[in-house]
Amino acid sequence: MNKILIAGNWKMNKTVPESLELIHALKEKLRSPCAAEVVLIPPFTSLHSAAEDLRGSDIQLGAQNLSHLGSGAVTGEVSGTMLISAGCKYVLVGHSERRTLFHESDALIHQKLKTALSEGLHPIFCVGESGEERDAGKTKDIINNQLTVGLNGLTLMEMRKITIAYEPVWAIGTGKNAKPEQAQEIHEVIRSRLASLYDPELAQGTRIIYGGSVNPENSSSLLSQSDVDGALVGGASLDADSFYAIINAIK
């Protein structure tokens, strides 16, 4: 069984002092060994301070984005090497808000995955369909295409560093979430696609987590599904009590 991963994506929230306050509260609650691997994903401005404060703890650090380029005259971008130096292990790639608000294509996301891997990061690769695509019955086609293009040419060794996050676009920040059986169905689709692209062993060994309005009330039922290996938490990760309740929902 894959170790559960619970990642908190803070998005464009929390100043540096606010980030440290939240980290202190979480560290107090997570003093005993945790059944999950916990990852905090604050804004870029808080990464260095967060890394210093997390030193010696079991909590990992991630970034919300990276450039597909390694370095150079690319004003406003942040490279994977910079993220590593700031203390990051993980990085989100292909989050639905990057796809929709910033029009990141599957091809660009593929380049970001390759860059993240080449620079030593562990990508959390996000896939998901819009409400219109779901209503049109295109969910499986959309997911399979995102996986096929995004993972094109990656080796088995590279794939072992990747976590897949299924985050239906219609559930991000809307208060709606996929029912547990809906999440399980799409996680099965993802695992099946990984088996066809690589092999069944790789598919079973890849963590597939769910993101989309995860909260303390629905986390237990979502995490009890056989193919749900964790959660990518948005708004509920901004409160220590709520985030801890989700972590504590692991059976």
**CA 5/CA 2 separation, integer angstroms:** 9
**CA 131/CA 31 separation, integer angstroms:** 40
Q: Which helix (H) or strand (E) holds 113?
A: helix 106-118
Which residue numbers are catalytic?
95, 167
**CA 197/CA 143 separation, integer angstroms:** 13
Smallest CA-to-CA distance from 237 within 1, 9, 4, 3 is with 9
How large is the greatest C-alpha to C-alpha distance in the chain, in angstroms?
Answer: 49
Smallest CA-to-CA distance from 231 within 206, 209, 205 is with 209
